[in-house]
Amino acid sequence: MAVTDANGGLSIRLLCAADADVYQAIRVAAATHDPASIHADAAEVAALDRDAIQRQIAPGDAQRVVGAFIAGELVGVAALRRNVLARTRHRAAVQGVFTRSECRGRGVARSLMQAVLDEAAKLPGLASLELAVHAENAPAKALYQAFGFRRVGLIPGAVMVDGRSLDEVLMQRPLNFSSSAAAPAFIPDGDDYALIEAAPDVDTYRRLRAESGLSPKTEEAARRGLAGTLFAVQLRHGGETIGMGRVIGDGGGFYQVVDIAVLPAHQGRGLGKRIMAAIRGYIDRELPVSAYVSLIADGDARHLYAQFGFEPTAPRSEGMALFKR
């Protein structure tokens, strides 16, 4: 496998035994400059002999390691490591995704992730990909979410770095999605929108509702409401939150999708669909069978919600509401 981007000078290919020295060097750099992204410390990586490094990157049925090169220099890596036991061979872990700091913002990590998915598709019987990411690494989580990974758990205190206990988020994605609603939204080249699984703060929430045309909420109402969020996503662009969506409910039988909002300047780009895809993924992943999920569709928004399985309740029932003034 080899992919070259003529415009950016970026090339992606499988690593092999001959790349052992440069692979070890970039792993040392990761452990030194981004310690939360790698469980081994720099000294442990540097102490490995050449044979051990070669075994780590040798392509085979159980592993593939891809590298990103710019002007012949290895600037990013990502590994796919498959479980070898018979009952878990359908699962593989994505590990060690790292880009040198001076090359970030050039699409290296995105190209590496696409290459990993391409390699995974070549392995017969592989059905599920998993990864762990530092809980506070919002850009990395957004990248993985964009490729269809969804949070499935949390390991508190998974890594100790300089005496600090760091949590890791566990994420998973199927290789083939059972429905288009669960699949990741299409991300065109150069897309710089990041989807984050987190509720906005009170001020951001109130601003988004007001500027996107939703009814305004008082500061107290926003504060109370956000505290009861079961699941939320934000879309960020240029450091600003420009879209959001939430799920609220009793945690068992009844839920409601609320606050689907995208600022007018960013509408018409499929961003509402991306928000709803994340919400539908949460519904499919977390909600129990028999759960009732409702929403209020304004105007043409009903066409968006219909794409994710929502149906009108009329004539068997009619939505009613009370707005306290």
Domain pair 2-174 / 193-306, same fold: yes
Q: In which band, very low, low, confident or very high, does the pLDDT at 43 lie, cut at 50, 70 and 90?
A: very high
Enter the tokens of residue 297.
């569709």
Spatial CA neighbour of 76 closest among 137, 140, 124: 140
Enter the tokens of residue 174.
């199927």
Q: Could you tell me the pLDDT band of residue 192, with boundaries at 50, 70 and 90?
A: confident
* Alpha carbons 152 and 127: distance in angstroms, whole number: 16
b or e along 258-282 (b: 16 or more beta carbons within 10 Å of the residue's beta carbon)?
bbbbbbeebeeebbbebbbbbbbbb
State the Rg of the chain over Cα: 22
Instruction: Please compute, for residue 180, the number of CA atoms within 13 A of its CA located in the half-sphere on the CB side.
Output: 8
Please give the pLDDT value at position 146.
75
Q: What is the pLDDT of residues 86-131, one digit of tens each?
A: 999 999 999 999 999 999 888 899 999 999 999 999 999 999 999 9
Binned at pLDDT 50, 70 and 90, residue 5 comes out as low
CA–CA dist 89, 96 (Å, integer): 20
Judge whether residue 144 has pLDDT over 60.
yes
Output the pLDDT for position 176.
79
For 193-306, CATH gives 3.40.630.30
Options 3.40.605.10, 3.90.550.10, 3.40.630.30, 3.30.1360.30; CATH of 2-174: 3.40.630.30
Domain boundaries, the chain: 2-174, 193-306
The model's pTM is 0.63
Confidence label for 285 from pLDDT (cuts 50, 70 and 90):
confident
Dihedral in degrees, nearest 10, Cα atoms 51, 53, 54, 55: 90
Locate tokens 């002999």: which residue?
Answer: 49
Highest mean pLDDT of the ranges 61-70, 165-174, 182-191, 222-231: 61-70
Could you tell me whether strands 164-174 and 91-99 are parallel, antiparallel, or unpaired per DSSP bridges?
unpaired
Q: Quick one: what percent of the chain has pLDDT higher than 70?
A: 93
CA distance 42 to 29: 7
Q: Mark out the alpha helices in the chain (DSSP H runs).
A: 20-33, 42-46, 50-57, 108-120, 138-146, 202-212, 219-227, 271-286, 301-306
